[in-house]
Chains A and B, each alone.
Chain A
Amino acid sequence: GAVVSQHPSRVICKSGTSVKIECRSLDFQATTMFWYRQFPKQSLMLMATSNEGSKATYEQGVEKDKFLINHASLTLSTLTVTSAHPEDSSFYICSARPRDYGYTFGSGTRLTVV
């Protein structure tokens, strides 16, 4: 139980376009989800906390207008990278925390902006 599904696993987009990444909790309801970014050979950095039915909470230094987060239901949060540029290329991972479990992570999305 407690599975988080993340799609797509890989995406390549042209510079200037937008990309949407979906994160779904398959067998539990998640009022809160977390979005992380991971650069090669580095740790996970929390970008924002997604809250169902309300605005996301962004970490310091994260551009909220560039990384749009929508948490419209108890099982779905989306991260949209707007006007993507090569420096946005990274590995993005979502996470949720079912009660009584440790945090559960999606399988990640490798974004490459060309």
Chain B
Amino acid sequence: AQSVTQLDSQVPVFEEAPVELRCNYSSSVSVYLFWYVQYPNQGLQLLLKYLSGSTLVKGINGFEAEFNKSQTSFHLRKPSVHISDTAEYFCAVSLNTGTASKLTFGTGTRLQVTL
């Protein structure tokens, strides 16, 4: 079975500073990786996904992530954050691209951006 670890439960950062949210996964087979953002009392919005191809994935809102197979990581980065980026971020993994494939989430990282 696959699993996802987000080591940082909270990441405080000043506005316009860079940020990295860490995500490591465990699986005996190839996986597909996702980052989602959740604002209070809302559903999840897809930031970016890695299915195959280039290991550097660019997403919405200026976020990007790099798939590192040897380190089993998929860290999320943004070079300059805004107050509006304050939210909960979830890393997730699925085993294949089928429409019935389950998605397993990490425990989430709360990004708190302050002035």
**A46 touching B102 in the complex, CB below 8 Å, given contacts A102-B34, A102-B49, A103-B34:** yes
Mark interface residues in B99-115 (1 if CB within 8 Å of A CB, else 0). 11111111110100000
CA distance A43 to B108 in the complex (A): 6
Given the interface pairs A49-B100, A102-B34, the reply to whether A44 lies near B46 with Cβ below 8 Å is no
Number of interface residues of B (CB under 8 A): 23
A contact residues around B83 at 8 Å (CB): none
Q: Is A75 an interface residue (CB 8 A)?
A: no
Most buried by A among B43, B45, B100, B102: B43
**Nearest-CB residue, chain B, relative to A98:** B99
Of A30, A34, A107, the contact of B42 (CB 8 Å cutoff): A107
CB < 8 Å A-B pair total: 60
How far does the alpha carbon of A99 sit from the alpha carbon of B94 in the complex, in Å? 14
Given contacts A44-B90, A102-B34, A102-B49, contact A34 B43 (CB under 8 A): no
Instruction: Judge whether B44 is part of the interface by a CB distance below 8 angstroms.
Output: yes
A105, B99: Cβ atoms under 8 Å?
A: no
A interface residue count range (under 10 / 10 to 19 / 20 to 34 / 35 or more): 20 to 34
A31 with B100: in contact, given A6-B43, A102-B49, A108-B43 (CB under 8 Å)?
yes
List A residues at the B interface (Cβ < 8 Å). Answer: 4, 6, 30-32, 34, 41-44, 46, 49, 51, 91, 93, 95-99, 101-108, 110
Using A95-B103, A105-B43 as known contacts, list a sample of 7 further A-B pairs with CB atoms less than 8 Å apart, ordered by residue number in A.
Answer: A43-B107, A44-B44, A49-B100, A97-B100, A98-B99, A103-B92, A110-B41
